[in-house]
Amino acid sequence: MGISLADVLRRFAPAYQQRYPAALLPSHQRAIRDILACRTPALGGHLWHCPECDQDVYVYHGCRNRACPACHAAQTQQWLRDRQAELLPCPYFHLTTTVPQGLRDLFRSHQKVFYDLLMSLTARCVMDVAGNPRHLGAMPGILAVLHTWTGTLDYHPHVHCLVTGGGVSPDGKDWIATRPGFFLPVRVLSRHLRQLFAQTLKQKHPELFALAPAQVWQQEWVINCIPWGQGEHGVLDYLARYVFRIAITERRLLGMDDRTVTFQYKDRKANRQRSCRLEGTEFIRRYLQHVLPKGFHKVRYYGLWNPRRRGQMQQVRLMLQLQRPAEPLAEDPAKPTPAFCPFTPVCPHCGCDELVYLREIPRPRSRSP
């Protein structure tokens, strides 16, 4: 059995807290506390019994902290079910916006301000350029997700966007599709985003604008955009990995000793897996810098996917469905798969999946000092 993030925190968090006391933000303290309690008696749970090997099986609750790598499987499935009714039958594009290196220190020290600007201005940039009749002349749907890491856990703020391959016309009567395989010119998007960021920062936060290096307003900002096909479910499955992905998953943890932690990452330039070994406190420092501020929404919806436009989105869906050719009926249609299967534990001793539920295990009450 491999090591978990909780194992790493138990071994190295005390040393980290002594070494970086000023850097331990309330959100970091909460993440450490929650992950250490995750899937333990501290959170309560349920007791099952295995009829095959006559063993009791304790299943404890997860912490549900969004920085915990063990608590997102059920949440991901629920999100997929909720989003299925919102996807439009059209092509999609995956657009990524990356922050220039010169701004990253400011991002790190003023996270709420800059993360909010990056997400909202990326969406505004896409809608501005898409709304220009020279390019598309329509309003698309945008789902934006904030990420802040690289494979080696370095600080790298960027936004992933799922964008519809077209949009609704200004009068709301027509769907205007993009050209096959092409959404919008990335150079135009890059320069417009840079301009929006500079103007907004200067107007709303002049003290932060004065701290930004002048060269970031002259260089090209990196925006990538690639087509992502037509299949609605494939798009959702792909995007779900981005929505609930955290800085590191436990399957990437390879080993740990008294001083170091070793984990796996993908070298994208070489297209191969590599390993990285860090001092334990450095590993925790890199991990905690990706814990988001309390209350910050890392997933946001813009354009046609704005919750206030649900009525218009329903009209657009009907419009697109009428434009699609009728699909032939299958001769022997398969039985529909249930959208959700309730959680049933598997016996860790013998692998039996027909456990008998006994009772709930209450959460321990905190004792008064």
Concatenated DSSP letters for 245-285?
A: --S--GGGEEEE-SSEEEEEEEETTTTEEEEEEEEHHHHHH
pLDDT at 241: 73
C-alpha to C-alpha distance for 90 and 103, rounded to whole angstroms: 36
Please count the structural domains in the chain.
Answer: 1
In a domain, 264, yes or no: no
In a domain, 29, yes or no: no
The segments of the chain whose pLDDT lies below 70 read: 1, 74, 85, 229-235, 237-238, 324-344, 366-369
In a domain, 100, yes or no: yes
In a domain, 101, yes or no: yes
C-alpha to C-alpha distance for 242 and 118, rounded to whole angstroms: 17
pLDDT digits (tens, 9 = 90+) for 137-196: 999 999 999 999 999 999 999 999 999 999 999 998 899 999 988 999 999 999 999 999
pLDDT at 338: 36
pLDDT digits (tens, 9 = 90+) for 203-214: 999 999 999 999
C-alpha to C-alpha distance for 145 and 159, rounded to whole angstroms: 6
Domain that holds residue 170: 91-247+290-323
In a domain, 230, yes or no: yes
C-alpha to C-alpha distance for 175 and 139, rounded to whole angstroms: 9
C-alpha to C-alpha distance for 107 and 149, rounded to whole angstroms: 13
pLDDT at 320: 82
CB of 8 within 8 A of CB of 253?
A: yes
Structure tokens at 96: 């990524």
pLDDT at 20: 87
Find where tokens 């417009």 sit.
Answer: 192
In a domain, 265, yes or no: no
pLDDT at 340: 35
Sign of the torsion angle spanned by Cα atoms 36, 42, 44, 48: positive
CB atoms within 10 A of CB 106: 20
In a domain, 276, yes or no: no
pTM, to two decimals: 0.86
In a domain, 317, yes or no: yes
| Helix boundaries (H) for the chain | 5-19, 26-37, 73-84, 104-109, 111-131, 186-204, 206-209, 232-243, 280-288, 310-323
CA angle 101, 102, 108 (to 5 degrees): 80
CB atoms within 10 A of CB 273: 11
Helix, strand, coil shares of the chain, percent, nearest 5, are 40, 20, 40
